[in-house]
Structure 1
Amino acid sequence: MRTRSGLRSIVVSGAGRGIGRATAELFLSRGWRVGLYDVDADAVAEVAAGRADAVHGRLDVRDPDRWRAVLDDFCGDGGLDVLVNNAGVLASGPFASMDAATHRRMVDINVTGVVNGALTGHPHLARSSGLLLNLCSASALYGQPTLATYGATKAAVKSLTEALDIEWRRDRVRVRSLLPLFVNTEMVTRDGRQASSVGSLGVRLTAEDVAAAVWRVVHERRRPLRSPHRAVGRQAQMLAALSAVSPDWAQRLVVRRLAG
């Protein structure tokens, strides 16, 4: 759909750095009108500086009222082609070593934030038969030691994606998720350093790799009955393929070995 500016439109949460920033920059470079929103308003202002088609502002994804204000302002009376639920946080390490506030913060941002984005984005996406794209993770495929709560939040996002892709067919809104493994961003290199599987599998994806996957999903052909999930990178693709055909005990054995 062409927006009031005549351009196709995309809103990206968590656009101040990492995958969100790379995605916003890619779509801006290809002529889209892009909404960049982040809890760090200065970071998105820096990315948007000097770009006529960039709209930016502060967004705490836990706040549904702020979501409504952001989308109403960006979309006006028109629709929205793509909403990328990207904002997320990670804390790694032994489950019992983290306090309740740390676990709750991951749930609030990674799950409630995605629910808020989907709920407030729906009417705008329905007007344009748009796409809701949720940033998930290969950690959602099977519970990961030292990533227990993070993986659980991403499993919730995976399930939500599946449900809404079926439920919103009547509105002609597609719902997809991306499942990368570990990406070379601050979230992984700093906050994920205690994840045992990082040492086993390494960090082989860049933010630009995931942004390119976002572009592909936005432009892919509709194929009935295809899964709504897209694994990003060879490692994630292999793990997703194995999880689809392997019995539970085999997946558990693989995860135990990766965890060391």
Structure 2
Amino acid sequence: MSRTILISGAAQGIGAAIARLFYQQGYKVGIYDINETLAQTLADQLGSNARAGKLDVSDYSQWQVALEDFTLWAGGLNILVNNAGILYSGDFEKTDINAHHRTININVNGVLNGCHAALPYLKKAQFARVINLSSASAIYGQADLVSYSASKFAVRGMTEGLDIEWKKYGIRVLDVMPLFVQTAMVKDMDAGAIKNIGIDLSPKDVAQQILNLVNAKGTILTNTHTPVGIKTKIMFKLSSISPQFINRFTNLILTKKS
């Protein structure tokens, strides 16, 4: 069976970078996105081993249709990347409650739906992994990004739990935790952290880390979480050894608006 990967939110940004990189590695690539036209454009650019489809990750039935469509075409599913996500920034109380709800519905329920719907297909594969897009915002709750940060904490929790639970199936469930990445998602973002920390990562950086996790074998792959970028690695390490008040103080400084 050919190596196969399905990526949610794959029409642009990090998802598109993942699709391009895995296509170059010889995978059959599923490019599924709420913007089906943009997804099809990317699939056409890549070639005959790419398939596009519509997927609103918050709708479980669309996951079922997408997975059936992809696996019938590709012959199975080895890698699921839960990449789709949205971000609203700014003062918590000034952000419309519907925006907060939408963040949770896509970022949390989207991952929940994807993992649940994909399991029957992953169990059939000789080699299977799930890679979830978490964030450095899941290290410590972020001011001006409260619902986004909370959603990524939820992704972190789901990843940890399923990585243990699905060991019985031989399926690793992992996440990557990048800081801010150069995508449309962070354009005009209203958060002190992005002004103070800056944007050093590209979508290709995240895609390469995901490929590394997929290719890692045996004892090399032990950690459930993988911080992406030197700044995130430092923050992740410090959070595990610093007293809580130090972590809070550090985040107060980093997220302070000028």
Cα distance, 1:109 vs structure 2: 0.1
CA contact (8 A) 1:36 1:56 kept: yes
**1:245 & 1:115 partners in 2: Cα distance?**
30
- 1:199 is paired with a residue of what secondary structure? helix
Q: Does 1:105 align with 2:68?
A: no
* Cα root mean square deviation, aligned: 1.3
**1:256 & 1:146 partners in 2: Cα distance?**
11
- 1:87 is paired with a residue of what secondary structure? coil
TM-score by length of 2: 0.95
Provide the identity percentage. 40
Residues 69-113 of structure 1, C-alpha deviations (whole Å, 9 max, x = no match) = 111111139531100000000000010001110000000000000
- 1:203 is paired with a residue of what secondary structure? coil
**2:61 & 2:40 partners in 1: Cα distance?**
21
> Which residue of structure 1 lines up, in the alignment, with residue 18 of structure 2?
23
Cα distance, 1:225 vs structure 2: 8.9
**1:104 & 1:222 partners in 2: Cα distance?**
39
Q: Does 1:204 align with 2:200?
A: yes
Cα distance, 1:223 vs structure 2: 2.8
CA contact (8 A) 1:135 1:177 kept: yes
- 1:223 is paired with a residue of what secondary structure? helix
Give the paired residue count: 253
- 1:226 is paired with a residue of what secondary structure? coil
Cα distance, 1:148 vs structure 2: 0.7
Cα distance, 1:226 vs structure 2: 2.9
Select 2:212's aligned residue among 205, 213, 216.
Answer: 216
Change (3 A) 1:223 1:44: same
- 2:30 is paired with a residue of what secondary structure? strand
**1:19 & 1:207 partners in 2: Cα distance?**
4
> Which residue of structure 1 lines up, in the alignment, with residue 36 of structure 2?
41
> Which residue of structure 2 lines up, in the alignment, with residue 90 of structure 1?
87
Residues 27-79 of structure 1, C-alpha deviations (whole Å, 9 max, x = no match) = 11121100000000111111011510001111000111110111111113953
CA contact (8 A) 2:138 2:152 kept: yes
Cα distance, 1:23 vs structure 2: 0.3
Select 1:133's aligned residue among 127, 131, 134.
Answer: 131
CA contact (8 A) 2:213 2:221 kept: no
> Which residue of structure 2 lines up, in the alignment, with residue 169 of structure 1?
167
User: For structure 2, which runs of at least 5 residues remain unmatched after alignment?
Assistant: none
CA contact (8 A) 1:161 1:228 kept: yes
The one-letter amino acid paired with 1:60 is D
Select 2:112's aligned residue among 86, 97, 115.
Answer: 115
Poorly superposed stretches of 4+, deviation over 3 Å = none
- 2:219 is paired with a residue of what secondary structure? coil
Matches within 5 A, 1:221-236: 221-223=217-219, 226-236=222-232
Select 2:239's aligned residue among 229, 240, 243.
Answer: 243
**1:244 & 1:226 partners in 2: Cα distance?**
17
Residues 139-158 of structure 1, C-alpha deviations (whole Å, 9 max, x = no match) = 00101100111000000000
TM-score by length of 1: 0.95
CA contact (8 A) 1:78 1:127 kept: no
Q: Please say which of residues 46-55 and 143-152 is displaced more in the overlay.
A: 46-55
Cα distance, 1:25 vs structure 2: 0.7
Q: Does 1:80 align with 2:77?
A: yes
Cα distance, 1:247 vs structure 2: 1.3
- 1:44 is paired with a residue of what secondary structure? helix
> Which residue of structure 2 lines up, in the alignment, with residue 69 of structure 1?
65
CA contact (8 A) 1:78 1:124 kept: no
